[in-house]
């Protein structure tokens, strides 16, 4: 018998694809080493949100031609240089480019790779990704390290949400209507992986920006 609430039960928007275990253990280790090299050149920082001036609990860095950044006065935007070192962002890790090519059919190469580093109680509130000029290409997300509880909703904040566990090596593809879905990370489950040196979780998001 269907549940009484089945009419309003959550169904992910078209264009949402979760690919569990897309990267095997050896590929995860190789990507982790590539990300470490990026972070040595472009150290993670805690960006500041525009209105509140609050620092984000997630530490960030970027690779690629453009990097996502926010500070109190400039707001959310893409920038071509690391805010502290002034250097251009390092190249996008090879394994990440391979994932993009494998899961996107005819999209041009990614312009940005945001690196989110979750340590301790870091989390990310429910939001939409709309700082890109073009929503035609999907966003591709790669999880490394500790497991996380990921929340996905609809294209309005009012719609119901559902949570999924993301594990190391999982890949998410957010295309079509799902490209503008509300989403966030409720919490990371500490000590569930030994991949990230120093512990925690890393998420890479690959995007077209312009
Ligand atoms: C759904 N990152 O960087 S990845 C972000 O795990 C971000 O660090 C989270 O949200 C993280 O903006 C979630 C999964 C994800 C990424 C982009 C999306 C889900 C998405 C874009 C649209 C819809
Ligand atoms: Fe996001």
- In this structure, the residue with its CA closest to atom 13 of ligand 1 is 184
Annotated ligand binding at 98? The verdict is no
CB atoms under 10 Å from CB of 207, counted, come to 26
Give me the residue label for tokens 């470490």: 36
Q: How far is the C-alpha of 152 from the C-alpha of 51, rounded, in Å?
A: 24
* Ligand 1 atom nearest to CA at 148: 6
Distance in Å, CA 67 to ligand 2 centroid: 14
pTM of the model as a whole: 0.95
Q: Which ligand is nearest to the CA of 174?
A: 1
Would you say how long the chain is, in residues? 210
**Number of alpha carbons in the 13 Å side-chain half-sphere of residue 194:** 0
Annotated ligand binding at 207? The verdict is yes
Would you say 43 and 37 are in contact if contact means Cβ atoms under 8 Å apart? Answer: no
In sequence order, what DSSP letters do the residues of 133-168 get, joined into one string?
A: S--SSPEEEEEEESEEEEEE--SSTTS--EEEEE-T
- Given this model, what pLDDT does residue 4 score? 52
Would you say 93 and 113 are in contact if contact means Cβ atoms under 8 Å apart? Answer: yes
How many domains does the chain contain in total?
A: 1
Owning domain of residue 104: 3-207
Q: How far is the C-alpha of 188 from the C-alpha of 166, rounded, in Å?
A: 9
Handedness of CA 197, 104, 62, 86 (dihedral sign): positive
How buried is residue 164: exposed, middle or buried, by Cβ count under 10 Å (0-12/13-18/19+)?
A: middle
Q: Which ligand is nearest to the CA of 141?
A: 1
- In this structure, the residue with its CA closest to atom 12 of ligand 1 is 129
Annotated ligand binding at 76? The verdict is yes
Distance in Å, CA 3 to ligand 1 centroid: 30
- Given this model, what pLDDT does residue 2 score? 53
Q: Measured from the CB, is residue 203 less than 6 Å from ligand 1?
A: yes
Q: Per-residue confidence of the chain (210 residues) as pLDDT tens digits?
A: 555 555 566 788 999 999 999 999 999 999 999 999 999 999 999 999 998 999 999 999 999 999 999 999 999 999 999 999 999 999 999 999 999 999 998 899 999 999 999 999 999 999 999 999 989 999 999 999 999 999 999 999 999 999 999 999 999 999 999 999 999 999 999 999 999 999 999 999 999 999
Distance in Å, CA 192 to ligand 2 centroid: 23
- Here the CATH number for the domain that contains residue 163 is 2.60.120.590
Distance in Å, CA 139 to ligand 2 centroid: 9
Distance in Å, CA 30 to ligand 2 centroid: 25
- In this structure, the residue with its CA closest to atom 14 of ligand 1 is 141
Nearest in space to 196 (alpha carbons), one of 143, 123, 148, 145: 145
- Given this model, what pLDDT does residue 106 score? 86
């Amino acid at each position: 018998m269907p549940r009484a609430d089945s009419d309003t039960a959550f169904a992910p928007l078209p264009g949402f694809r979760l690919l569990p275990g897309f990267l095997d253990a050896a590929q995860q280790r190789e990507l982790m080493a590539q990300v470490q090299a990026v972070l040595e050149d472009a150290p993670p920082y805690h960006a500041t949100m525009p209105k509140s001036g609050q620092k984000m609990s997630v530490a960030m860095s970027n690779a690629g031609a453009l990097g996502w950044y926010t500070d109190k006065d400039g707001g959310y935007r893409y920038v071509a240089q690391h805010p502290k070192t002034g250097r251009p962002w390092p190249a996008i890790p090879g394994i990440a480019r391979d994932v993009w090519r494998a899961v996107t059919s005819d999209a041009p190469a990614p312009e940005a790779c945001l690196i989110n580093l979750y340590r301790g109680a870091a989390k990310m509130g429910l939001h939409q990704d709309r700082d890109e000029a073009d929503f035609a290409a999907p966003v591709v997300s790669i999880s490394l390290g500790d497991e996380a509880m990921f929340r996905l909703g609809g294209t309005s904040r009012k719609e119901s949400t559902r949570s999924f566990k993301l594990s190391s090596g999982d890949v998410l593809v957010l295309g079509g209507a799902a490209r503008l879905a509300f989403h966030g990370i409720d919490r990371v489950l500490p000590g569930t992986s030994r991949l990230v040196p120093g512990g925690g979780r890393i998420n890479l998001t690959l995007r077209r920006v312009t």
